[in-house]
Amino acid sequence: MTAVFVHGVPDTARVWDAVISRLDRRDVVRLSLPGFACPAPEGFSATKEAYVDWLLDRLTALPRPIDLIGHDWGAGFVVRAVSLRRELARSWAAGGAPVDSEYEWHEAARLWQTPEVGERVMEAMTPEALRRALVTAGVPEADAAESVKHVDATMKRCILALYRSAVNTGSEWEPDLGRVTAPGLVLWGERDPYAAARFGARLAERTGARSVSFPGCSHWWQLERPDEVAGELRRLWTAAAS
């Protein structure tokens, strides 16, 4: 049995530390997305499909059953994985990443998706500027200060490639949501500045998952509400095991 945690943008695997420290599990695997505080394989395109393929490869090599957990882009990859390979996961939990044809990308994403503009934005994204932006978005000060230490040129290139491949993610991935069969949990911050909580509720409805919205919480629910997130995960795993 394995609990697999997948992070998002612009994070690293350490974003799960607070939640994992509250879980009584020894079978935990934190995956690091290629290019995010770790090398990207030679020739890796860093598109959304490349990351999904990478995740599926990693999952097939791990002991089963697998409980899969993702946040932000990690959530998007988790949902896509359980849509394509239903047998891989005993349960899944995800949040902060709409898979919805009605979703419109937030401002930063639109800038990153624009050639030349995105490169200029990344050049201007100094550690201090990013730290301030993360704190404004709800990341605790200490976590924001740690996160920016790991944002390098490789991560920035991967972020640009990922977002430019993802303009139509909602319309491309939404039709397969009905193929999800594993018990699921959708976690969302009620005050998420990047995607309204209604997108979490819609994702849960379309996948048959249970939906939890954290009042007063922003985008990084695993950092803001680790106790509650750990409790919801335990509840999911207990139900999946019964």
pLDDT in tens, the chain (242 residues): 999 999 999 999 999 999 999 999 999 999 999 999 999 999 999 999 999 999 999 999 999 999 999 999 999 999 999 999 999 999 999 999 999 999 999 999 999 999 999 999 999 999 999 999 999 999 999 999 999 999 999 999 999 999 999 999 999 999 999 999 999 999 999 999 999 999 999 999 999 999 999 999 999 999 999 999 999 999 999 999 98
Cα–Cα distance, 46 to 164 (Å, whole number): 10
pLDDT of residue 201: 98
Cα–Cα distance, 185 to 232 (Å, whole number): 8
pLDDT of residue 242: 86
Break the chain into its structural domains and give their ranges.
2-104+168-241
pLDDT of residue 98: 97
CATH topology of domain 2-104+168-241: Rossmann fold (3.40.50)
Residues 6+ apart with CB under 8 A from 219: 72, 96, 137, 138, 189, 192, 193, 194, 195
Q: Where would I find the beta strands (DSSP E) of 128-179?
A: none
pLDDT of residue 102: 97
DSSP state of 86: G
The answer, as to whether pTM is greater than 0.95, is yes
CB-based burial of residue 133 (10 Å sphere; 0-12 exposed, 13-18 middle, 19+ buried)? middle
Partnered with residue 93 across adjacent β-strands are 69, 185
Residues 6+ apart with CB under 8 A from 111: 117, 118, 121
